Amino acid sequence: MPMAYRVDRDSRVVVAAGYGIITDDDVFGYQHEVWSRPDVAGFNELIDMTRATEIAVPSTGRVRDLAALSAAMDGTAIRSRMAIVAPDDLAFGLGRMYQSYRELNPLSTREVGVFRTTEQALAFLGMEHALVLPDLP
């Protein structure tokens, strides 16, 4: 799976990274695997797409589907933030689309930001130190 993640319990953040070619199955699989875990409820999230070489999304409708699934998996009482690092134009555009769908969904309790640099993403998350990216298993 080209999506890898690690849980930083001290900082209360899930750090994920995309590697190589990222498919629809990779992204939905990551969403289900991580955010169905009760031990990360309310954690912030950093998704780093700087190592992704291609994003193979079958349609923009799948971005809407992912946003709806993500919003449905949000906890109702805990607000959190998600920062997407997307230096590539396609990843940035898809991230902004995802952000818009999340903002329009009344179930969403997560604020999403899309950034070109890791520094901007960390500032959005209120992090004063760098986070270690996960390696592929």
In this predicted structure, what is the pLDDT of residue 113?
Answer: 98
d(CA 115, CA 87): 7
Q: Give the residue numbers spanning the domain of 43.
A: 3-125
DSSP 45-78: EEEE-TTEEEEE-S-HHHHHHHHHHHHHHS-SS-
In this predicted structure, what is the pLDDT of residue 75?
Answer: 77
What CATH number did the domain enclosing 43 receive?
3.30.750
* Ramachandran region, residue 107 (left: φ > 0; alpha: ψ -120 to 50; beta: rest): alpha
Residue 21 lies in a domain: yes
Residue 135 lies in a domain: no
Residue 78 lies in a domain: yes
pLDDT in tens, 73-124: 997 768 899 999 999 999 999 999 999 999 999 999 999 999 999 999 999 9
Other C-beta atoms lying within 10 Å of the C-beta of residue 3: 25
Q: 14 is written with which tokens?
A: 């899930």
